[in-house]
Structure 1
Amino acid sequence: MEAKQIAFIGTGVMGASIVKHLLKAGHSVTVNTRTKSKAEPLLALGATWGATPAEASEQKDIIFTMVGYPKDVEEVYCGEQGIFSAAKEGAIVVDMTTSEPTLALKLHSIAQEKGLHSIDAPVSGGDIGAQNGTLSLMIGGNQEIVEYMRPIFETFGANIVYQGTAGAGQHTKMCNQIVIASGMVGVCEAMAYGLKAGLSLEEVLKSISSGAAGSWSLSNLAPRMLSGDLEPGFYIKHFIKDMKIALDEAERMNLQLPGLALAKQLYDTLLEQGYGEKGTQALIKYYSE
C-alpha cells in the first residue's frame, strides 16, 4: 500500500507506539491529544500536530481514534470540533478504543450518512504488544474495507481477525476483557498462595507459566507484580470501564457473569484506594495489603 495521510487521535500508552509504527512505515501522521506536551516525542519523529480532532482529520485518508471512555469517543467524533465535522468523503475512520458496541453501531450509521467508512477495531496486547507491533485486532465493519486496511493494520498488529459487521469488534473485545478480568484474579491468588506457602515465586512461575495454567497475564504481568512494577500497560481506571461495559451488555442479553462481577468489585476497591492510574497487575495489592 502506498503512503497514506493519516490522523491519530489519542496518543496514550498504546497510541504513541502505534503512531511510531505508522511513521516508520512511511505514512504521514497528524496527531491530536488533550495535552500537546505528551505528543512532543512523536512530533520530534516527524508527526505533525492538529489542534483539534477536526483539524487533525482534514483531508486525511484514514483517521484512527484511541481515547479513554465512550463519552470521549462520542466527543471526538460528534463534537463541534469532532471528526465528523471535517473528514472528507470516502475517508476511513477506525475507532480502536475499547468502547460500547451500541456506540460503534451509532458511529457506523453516522459515517454512512456522511459518505465515510467506519470500522471498530479494539486491540489487545497492552503496552508491550504496541511497542513490538504484535497487537491483536478484533474488527467489525464492512469486510471489503477491512481487507483494504489490512496492510495498515499489519504495521502494528500480528493477529488481525475480522469478526463481523459493525459492533462485532467491540463485542469480541468484551470477551477478551472478561477472560483477562477473571484470569487476573487467578494470577494474583496464585501469587498470594505461593507467598504464604513460603515458595520462591520466581521458581513457581518457571513451573506454571508453560503448563496448562499458562497465560499472557501470568507470563508478562506476574513478573511485574513480583518486582513491584505497577506502572500501566493498561490503566485500572480504563479496565473498570471495560468491565462495566461488558456487564451492561450482558444484562441486556439476560446473561449472568459472576466471575466478571467479582473481578470488577475487587478493582473498584483498588480504585477507591487510589490505584486507578496504575496497571491492571496492581490487583496484587488487594491481596498484599
Structure 2
Amino acid sequence: MKTIGFIGTGVMGKSMAGHLMKAGHPVHVYTRTKEKASELLDHGAIWADSPKDIAQDCDVIITMVGYPKDVEEVYLGTDGLIEHAKEGSYLIDMTTSSPQLAQKIANTATEKNLTTLDAPVSGGDVGAREAKLSIMVGGDETAFNELLPIFSKMGTNIVYQGKAGSGQHTKMCNQIAIAAGMIGVCEAILYAEKAGLNPETVLKSIESGAAGSWSLSNYAPRMLKGDFAPGFYVKHFIKDMTIALNSAEEMGLMTPGLALAKKLYEELAEMGEENSGTHALYKRLAHQI
C-alpha cells in the first residue's frame, strides 16, 4: 500500500483522508490548524509539521487546500512539495484552482522527475463523507490509470479529461452550471413560499422532473430547515467563480449567468455569510422581498 500524504483536512479533506486510511494506506497529514486533523490523528494518521516533511516521507501526496495562492505556496514555495518530494513521487492537487497554475505546476514538476495531476472534485460534504465524489482529472494518463485505485476510495465518477489543467477546466464547467442553477433553486423555493404553497410538497413534484438537479434535491431541503451550514463555503465558491470568469474572459467567452451569480454571492458575503454554505444564497434573495 502506497504511503499517502494529505495536506488540508477541512470539511471535505477530512473525510477523503479518512477513506484512504480505512482502505489500509498509511496516511501522513498536515493542515495549518492541527485541531482540524485531530479526528484523523486519533484514528492513526501520522502528523507532519510541514509540507516539506510530507514530501520527504510519502509516495503519493494529495492536497485539498483553499485558494490558488495556497496551492502555489504548497507546491512551488521554498519549503514546498516540488522542491522536496522524492523522485518518482505523485502529486495530486484536488483543490479547485486555476487551470493555468495547474499547467505551471506540471511543467515545473516534470523538470524534477515528479508527476502531477490536477483532480478537483464535486459533491460537497455529502459526497466526500460517502466516498461518492465526482473527480475530474488532468495530467499524465498513465499516472491517472496507476492512481485510479486511490481515486476510487474517494469517489465513484472518476473521469480522465486530458492534459494538465484539463481537470481544473472541467471543474470550471461544473461551477458555471451550479452558479446559475443555484439562483434558480433559491428563486423556486421563495416563489413557492410567496405563493402560499407548501415548499416541501412542491419539491415532491419538481425534483424528479425536468427541473430536477443535485442542488435542488440536496440543498432545497436544507434551506427549508434553515440549515445553512457549509457543505461548500460561500467564500470558496466566490473564489471558484472568479477563476472561471477570468478563464472565460481569456478565451473571449461571455458568461452573463456566472457574472450575475458572482455578484449576488459577493453581496451575500457582505451580509456576513461568507462562511455559510452556498445554498445561503436563499438569504440574499429573500432579503430582497
TM-score bracket relative to the smaller structure: over 0.9
Q: 1:90-169 maps to which residues of 2 (within 5 A)?
A: 90-169=88-167
Match of 2:84 in 1: 86
Contact 1:69–1:99 (Cα < 8 Å) also in 2: yes
Counterpart code for 1:56: I
The partner residue of 1:206 within 199, 204, 207 is 204
Q: What SS class does the counterpart of residue 115 from structure 1 fall into?
A: coil
Match of 1:55 in 2: 53
Counterpart code for 1:254: G
Q: Which runs of 5+ in 2 are unaligned?
A: none
> 1:183 aligned to 2:186?
no
Question: For each residue in 1:20-41, what CA deviation from the matched residue of structure 2 results, as whole angstroms up to 9, or x when unmatched?
Answer: 1000000000000010011111
Identity %: 61
Aligned length: 287
Contact 1:187–1:222 (Cα < 8 Å) also in 2: yes
Match of 1:251 in 2: 249
Task: Give the Å deviation of 1:85.
Answer: 2.3
CA distance, structure 2, for counterparts of residue 60 and residue 32 of structure 1: 12
CA distance, structure 1, for counterparts of residue 14 and residue 214 of structure 2: 22
Question: For each residue in 1:80-110, what CA deviation from the matched residue of structure 2 results, as whole angstroms up to 9, or x when unmatched?
Answer: 2211222100000000000000000000001
CA distance, structure 2, for counterparts of residue 288 and residue 252 of structure 1: 34
Using the size of structure 1 for normalisation, the TM-score is: 0.98
Match of 1:25 in 2: 23
Match of 2:71 in 1: 73
Q: Which runs of 5+ in 1 are unaligned?
A: none
Match of 1:267 in 2: 265
Using the size of structure 2 for normalisation, the TM-score is: 0.98
Q: What SS class does the counterpart of residue 272 from structure 2 fall into?
A: coil
> Which runs of at least 4 in structure 1 moved beyond 3 Å after TM superposition?
none
CA distance, structure 2, for counterparts of residue 287 and residue 178 of structure 1: 19
In angstroms, what is the RMSD of aligned CA positions? 0.6
Match of 2:14 in 1: 16
Question: For each residue in 1:105-149, what CA deviation from the matched residue of structure 2 results, as whole angstroms up to 9, or x when unmatched?
Answer: 000001100110000000000000000000000000010100000
Match of 1:170 in 2: 168
Contact 1:140–1:162 (Cα < 8 Å) also in 2: yes
